[in-house]
Structure 1
Amino acid sequence: MNNIRVRVNTDAISEIEGMLEQRFERVGQFVENKAKESCPVDSGILRASVHHEADKTGTVIGTNVEYAISVHEGHGSFSGVPFLRDAVYGNMSEINNLLGGN
């Protein structure tokens, strides 16, 4: 029977994870800034609440303000302003570049 050996370079894995976390952090900050630019402002609470959290697996951009979904998607006769969605889909080229794409 053949012996097969696999050697895992854990230092390289840690380096890759660190690089990914840095890139996801840059993307998160970029998208957060773009979302804040296009977020409608009344009192400023919603815009100030937009934040991101990044780790080695990705980044999450959002808000914890209860009425954010109504502003984003619309409610009743009020048309929504999809500031989070637009911050991502309107900037895919820049996001790709921040992730190291071509």
Structure 2
Amino acid sequence: MKNYWKIGLGVAALLVVALFVGWYRVASIGHEALRDVATQANLCKTVGCSEGIDEASSYLAEEFGLSPRLVEWCVGVDTLSERTGSKGLVNRSWWINLLYEPCGDPILE
């Protein structure tokens, strides 16, 4: 019985680590995409461009009704969805649709 608990805890720990790595990867991709947006819009005033990223994130958050932190996630998922094939990721696969869930439905006008 003790072995089942150890196996269960090991599987749970692996799942938590995998979720964290996935979140970190998508957030990193979103951060880089927001840096590109801020650079193209000439919002960067320092080398790290943190103020430009914050301004771009705030603008997109206001535009789409999301929190600035969630904007980073959604931009990351959007950037990830544009990549096809090289890592076995098919455009708009079930995985990408699952990642888009926190972003909600897009506002269409």
Which TM-score tier does this pair reach, normalised by the shorter chain? 0.3 to 0.5
TM-score, normalising length: structure 2: 0.42
Higher relative contact order (CA 8 A, sep 6+): 1
TM value normalised by structure 1: 0.44
More strand by share: 1
Which structure has greater helix proportion?
2
